[in-house]
Amino acid sequence: MARQVLQMHDNVFSNRPASIAITYLTYDRADMAFANYGPFWRQMRKLCVMKLFSRKRAESWASVRDEVDATLPAASDKSGEPLNIGELVINLTKNIIFRAAFGSQGHEDQHEFIGILQEFSKLFGAFNIGDFIPWLSRSWMDMHGINKRLKAARGAVDRFIDKIIDEHLANPKVADAEDADMVNDMLAFLEDSPAGKGGEGGDLQGNLKLTRDNIKAIIMDVMFGGTETVASTIEWAMAELMRNQEDLKRVQQELTDVVGLDRKVQESDLDKLPHFKRAKKENLRLHPPIPLLLHETAQDCEVVGYSIPKKSRVMINVWAIGRDKASWKDAETFWPSRFGPDGECAGVDFRGNYFELLPFGSGRRSCPGLQLGMYALELAMAQLMHCFDRSLPDCEGHVA
C-alpha cells in the first residue's frame, strides 16, 4: 500500500494535512513542508535541494565538522561518569542548524530561539477542538487558550527572525559565498532586495520570489527537521550498539583500522566503514526519525479498488513497515549483518527506492535535507564511538 501511495499515485497524495496551529505558525503554509503541491512548492523544493542543503554550501558542512569537534570535550569531561547522550546530541544538532541557518554561534540568541521552538513544538501537538469543529476555532471562543498562544509564538518568531534578516540586509553577502548562511542564500530571492545578488541562481533567480514570511517559515522547517530527528537517531544508534556489544566492538575495531588512534574521524573515512554503515541502516529500520508519514489527497482517486475522496488524510506507518515480519527476518532484532554482502538484505537502501525501508519517505515529499542530515549523523556517531568507550548504566542491556 505504501508503494501505491508514494509511487503509483504520488501525484495525487502529494499534499500534506495541516492543523489550525500548523497553518498559522507556517504563515498560511508559506514554507515547503506544508505547502500544497504545485509550481510554488516545486520551486521551494528546488531552492532547498540546490541551495540550502547543497553540498556546495560550505558553511553548513563546516558547521557539522566544527560543532562535532566542539562536542567531544563535553563528552570527555564526563569520563567515568554517567553521560546523558540524548542531551548531548540534541545540543549538538541545535548548534549545527543554528549556525548553518544564521551564521551565528551566539548562545544567548540561541537560547531565546530554542525557547520559541519548544513552544512551537507544544502547539503543533496540542489538542485544538477547532480542528474538528471549525466554527469553534473563532478567536472569541478560544476555550483552551490556543489562539492566544499561537499569536504570542508567531509574534516571538517575527521579532527574532526579522532582526536577523535586517542584520543580513545591512551587511549583505554575495549569494553562494563560502561563508554565506541559509538566510544569505534566501535573501537573494527576496522581493525588491538587492542582497545576495550575483550567485548562481539558475532558473530559480528568475522564477522564485520570496517574502519575509517565506524565509521565516522555511527557517522553522529547517530547525524542526534538522534537530530532534537527527538527535533521536544518533541516540537510538548509540543505545542499540551499547546493547549489542559484539556489533559495537566490530564498529570500533573498524574505526581503529581505518582511522587509527592518533587522529579524529574525517569525512573521507566514512565510506571505508562498511559495518558502521550497516549499523546505521539497521538503526534507521528499527527507529525511523519520522515514524508516521502524513499525506493528503489533492483530488478524488481510486487505489486498489477503494474510492478515496479529495482531502482524505493518509498516514503511512514507517515504524511498523520496518518491523514487518513478512519483510524482515527476526524483525525485532538489531542485526546489522542482514545488510552485509552475504546478507538477505544486501543492496537495500533507505533513500525511498525500497518500500520496506522508508525512514525518510519517498517520492515528491521525501526529505530534501537527507544528505546533510546523514553527514551530521554519521560524523557524530563515528566520533563518539571512536573516541570513547561507553556502556549502559545498568549493564543489563535494557533500552528504555
Helix, strand, coil content of the chain in percent (nearest 5): 55, 5, 40
d(CA 314, CA 297): 8
Strand partners, 314: 295
The stretches of 260-369 forming alpha helices (DSSP H) are 274-286, 318-321
C-alpha 277 chain-centroid distance? 19
Please count the other Cβ atoms lying within 10 Å of the Cβ belonging to residue 37.
Answer: 19
> Do residues 41 and 32 lie in contact, with contact meaning Cβ atoms separated by under 8 Å?
yes
Q: Is the dihedral of CA 99, 105, 111, 112 positive or negative?
A: negative
Q: Helix or strand or coil: residue 206?
A: helix
Cα separation, 376 vs 355, in Å, equals 24
Nine cell digits for residue 230: 537527527
Query: Whole-angstrom distance between the N-terminal and C-terminal Cα of the chain?
Result: 31
Residue 306 DSSP label? E
Known binding residue 367? Answer is: yes
Alpha helices in 77-106, H assignment, sequence order = 85-102
Letter for the amino acid at 219? I
Q: Tell me, rounded to whole angstroms, the distance of Cα 18 from its chain centroid.
A: 18
Q: Which residues are annotated as a binding site?
A: 367
Q: Which residues are annotated as a binding site for heme?
A: 367
